[in-house]
Amino acid sequence: MFEIFSGGQIYLIPLIFLAAGFTQGVSGFGSALVAMPLLLFFMDAHTAVPLCMLNGLIITSFLSLQLRRHVDWQKITPLLFGCMPGIYVGARFLKEADSNLIKLLLGVMLVGYSLYSLFLKPRTRKIRALWPYAAGFGTGVIGSAFSAGGPPTIIYVTLTSWEKDDIKATLSVFFFITGIFMASAHAVTGLTTRTVLGYFSLSALFVLLGVWLGSIFYGRIRRETYLRVILSLLVVMGVVMIGTSF
C-alpha cells in the first residue's frame, strides 16, 4: 500500500499533518494551506486532495465538539443554504472559465483585503441579512471550482462582532458539514483509494494531536490576536493562489 514512497517520505506524512492540525486548531481553518504544498512535493494531487479532506474531517469534528456550546445554527444555516447552489455553479463555471485568471484575481483580492485589515484595522460592520448567504454561495463556487472555498466565509466572519469562540465554532461546523459532502464525492468518484486510506491511517492520530495542541494555544490568545492570525493566513492563502495561477 505504501510502496510508491521510499525512505523517509513515509515518515513525513504524520509530521505534515501534525503541523496542519496545529494550524487549524489555532485558527479554525488552514490545515490544507500547510499540508497540500508539502504533500505535493512527493505525492500526486489525486492522492493528496482526498487525504487532506479526510484529515480535515477529523479536525473539524474535533473542533465542532470542543466548541459545541458556541454553535449557533442561526449563524451556520444561511451559510449552508448559500453554499449548496454555489457548488453547482462552481462546477459549471470550471468548465468554461479561465481558472488561472480567476485564481489570480481571487489571490490579489485576499492579499489586499487582509493587508488592509491588518494595518488599518477596519471597524466591525452591521451584518445584512443576505451577507451569510452570499458568503456561503461564494464558498460553494470557489470550493467547487478551485478546491479553495474558505475565503468568502472567513472574510465574512472577520467583519462580524462575534467573539472568537463563536467565529471558530461557526467555521468548524460549516467546514465539517461541507467536508462530508466533498469527502462523499471523492469516495463515489473513486478518489478515496486504498492508498489514500492507508496514509490516512498513518496520519489520523497525528492530526488529532496537532489540533489538540493548537486548541490549547488558541485558548491563550485574545480575540484581536486571533483575528490577526486569521488575516495572516489569508495573506498566505492569497499568495499561494497567485503563485499557482501562472
pLDDT digits (tens, 9 = 90+) for 49-69: 889 989 999 999 999 999 999
Residues 175-221: tens digit of each pLDDT? 999 888 888 888 888 888 999 999 999 999 999 999 999 999 998 98
Structural domain contains residue 4? no
Structural domain contains residue 1? no
- Which three-class secondary structure string do you get for 20-56? HHHHHHHHCCCHHHHHHHHHCCCCCHHHHHHHHHHHH
The number of beta carbons lying within 10 Å of the beta carbon of residue 219 is 11
Closest CA to 153 of 58, 73, 89, 79: 79
The domain total for the chain is: 1
Structural domain contains residue 2? no
Structural domain contains residue 127? yes
Entry pTM: 0.80
Q: Helix 131-146 vs helix 164-188: angle between axes, to the nearest 10 degrees?
A: 40
Structural domain contains residue 67? yes
Structural domain contains residue 135? yes
Least confident of 53-67, 114-128, 157-171, 179-193: 114-128
Structural domain contains residue 3? no
Q: Which domain, by its residues, includes 235?
A: 9-244
